[in-house]
Amino acid sequence: MSAAATGSRHRRGSSRTRWPTSCQAQRAAHELDIDEIRARFPALERRVGGRTVAYFDGPGGSQAPRAVIDAVAGYLERSNANAGGAFASSRETDELLAAAHGAAADLVGAKPGEIAFGANMTTLNFLLSHAVARTCAPGDEIVVTQLDHDANVSPWFRAAEDRDLVVRVAPIRAGDGTLDHDALEALIGERTRVVAFTLASNALGNVPDARRLAAAAHRVGALAWADGVHLAPHRRIDRDALGLDVVLCSPYKFFGPHLGLAAIRSELAERLPADRVRAASSEPPGHRFEAGTLNHEALAGTVAAIDYLAGLASGGGGGTDADEGAEPDTHGSRRRARLDSAYEAIRVHEESLAGRFLEQIPAISGLRLHGLADPGAVAERTPTFLIEIEGHPPREVAAALGRRGMFAWDGDFYAPAPLRLLGLGPEGGVRIGFLHYNAAAEVDALLEALAEIAAGRDAELAVAG
């Protein structure tokens, strides 16, 4: 069987979301210096079986640059304390908390007081969906999608059970796995209170039209509730420009520590009931959903990760305002502009990798790609690919890649609905993901390895380390 794809090969119209930047004039005029970038990631030096590891597991979690590792360790070495004290390490923690909320706000286009940190996105979404459900009446409706990671589906079904709500599920197209926007809009009615959707599929890489979905929600007064976890390392997220009420993401997907964050519009955060101790402050509004002491060292790493991303505006991830001797950026405008430029450079590099991959996989006999397959439509997806190889179970393929020092995930990736609807079995598929630290040579080596596996030429390679 020759390589096949369940995705369509036509380009879509211009009605799709154009991912916003606050300063289009600052579109990157530079290319990323991949060698310099890779030198900042200690994990990229790891060797397995005598081979340098190639990380294609980014959709499940990214590697961290040295600056993030040092920030986590540095906080624990020098500033480890609780907040609100009259001594140096506590004051430093206060400063860190302010810096973390400010950096996260810059990343997702919100205000610092609208940011809530938590253990992870899933925990935060259960907390916030529970709060929303407490404001709903029996029979009110929630719209979710088949495209989403279950962390933006299960919380709403649980909330519906608790409050006697109705959950309506928007379908994906069986051909290419893209969200059926028309079908979703048809599910929205007068009793819809929340429309929950992903900004990008963690299984297929497909990118829905977020602006269109948010506008549809707002036409009936419903909340536009977005899972930005998968999109965050690939594209600039601007909550306000997209018209979202809530967006959630996870720093460990954008080169930071394991943590979750949510950006909640102030007027919504102020009126939602929050479970917190009586002595806790209710200001600023986003902090109402931060129960107890936060993971301060992870916050330090998150600031470093966002500053690393902003540094990509200079090509190599090394520049910050402080490094350049600039005046303090108290309102975040400088960092936001640098993030605009950095994400444009990331987009250009990642689309090049995606096009390289999509152009060559049709030559691999027995390999099937699920999702958008057109190399000319890379702007409509992230560089995340769901594949299967005829006659080879997903775990076998992932293990064969692992023996070659290529790390990739197999399974359903907590997104069972799209995989089931695309005809994959209970073992799921193999997910290949590229991030901006991946090099073109790694993509070529991956394609060669997949061809060998598909042809049954998989040698039993010794594993070291």
Closest CA to 182 of 219, 226, 212, 152: 212
Three-class SS of 359-392: HHHHHCCCEEEECCCCHHHHHHECCEEEEEECCE
Distance CA 310, CA 107 (A): 9
Percent of the chain residues past pLDDT 70, beyond the cut: 87
Question: Which tens digits make up the pLDDT trace of 154-181?
Answer: 999 999 999 999 999 999 999 899 999 9
Looking at residue 434, the DSSP 8-state letter turns out to be -
9: pLDDT strictly greater than 70: no
Question: Which tens digits make up the pLDDT trace of 70-129?
Answer: 999 999 999 999 999 999 999 999 999 999 999 999 999 999 999 999 999 999 999 999
What tokens appear for 57 in the block? Answer: 């597991």
Distance CA 173, CA 242 (A): 23
Considering only residues 26 and 301, tell me which one the structure prediction assigns the higher pLDDT: 301
7: pLDDT strictly greater than 80: no
pLDDT at 280: 61
pLDDT at 459: 54
Considering only residues 23 and 388, tell me which one the structure prediction assigns the higher pLDDT: 388
Query: How much is the mean pLDDT over the chain?
Result: 90
Where does the pLDDT of residue 319 fall: very low under 50, low under 70, confident under 90, or very high at 90 and above? low
What three-state secondary structure class fits 196? strand
Indicate the pTM of the whole model.
0.90
Question: Which tens digits make up the pLDDT trace of 259-284?
Answer: 999 999 999 999 998 886 655 666 67
Question: Which tens digits make up the pLDDT trace of 326-368?
Answer: 444 544 689 999 999 999 999 999 999 999 999 999 999 999 9
Mean pLDDT, to the nearest integer, of 441-448?
98
Task: Kindly tell me the burial class for residue 291, based on how many C-beta atoms sit within 10 Å of its own C-beta (0-12, 13-18, 19 or more).
Answer: middle
Closest CA to 200 of 235, 238, 239: 235
Where does the pLDDT of residue 238 fall: very low under 50, low under 70, confident under 90, or very high at 90 and above? very high
What tokens appear for 388 in the block? Answer: 């299967």
Express the helix, strand and coil content of the chain in percent, nearest 5 each.
45, 15, 40
pLDDT at 15: 39
Mean pLDDT, to the nearest integer, of 304-323?
78
1: pLDDT strictly greater than 60: no
pLDDT at 17: 47
8: pLDDT strictly greater than 60: no
Question: Which tens digits make up the pLDDT trace of 382-401?
Answer: 999 999 999 999 999 999 99
pLDDT at 277: 62
4: pLDDT strictly greater than 60: no
Looking only at the bridges linking them, the beta strands covering 384-389 and 115-118 are unpaired
Q: Supply the DSSP string of 153-188, one letter for each residue.
A: THHHHHHHHHHT-EEEEEPBPTTT--B-HHHHHHH-
What three-state secondary structure class fits 263? strand
24: pLDDT strictly greater than 70: no
What the chain holds in terms of domains, given with CATH numbers, is 4-64+340-454 (3.90.1150.10), 67-311 (3.40.640.10)
Looking at residue 326, the DSSP 8-state letter turns out to be P
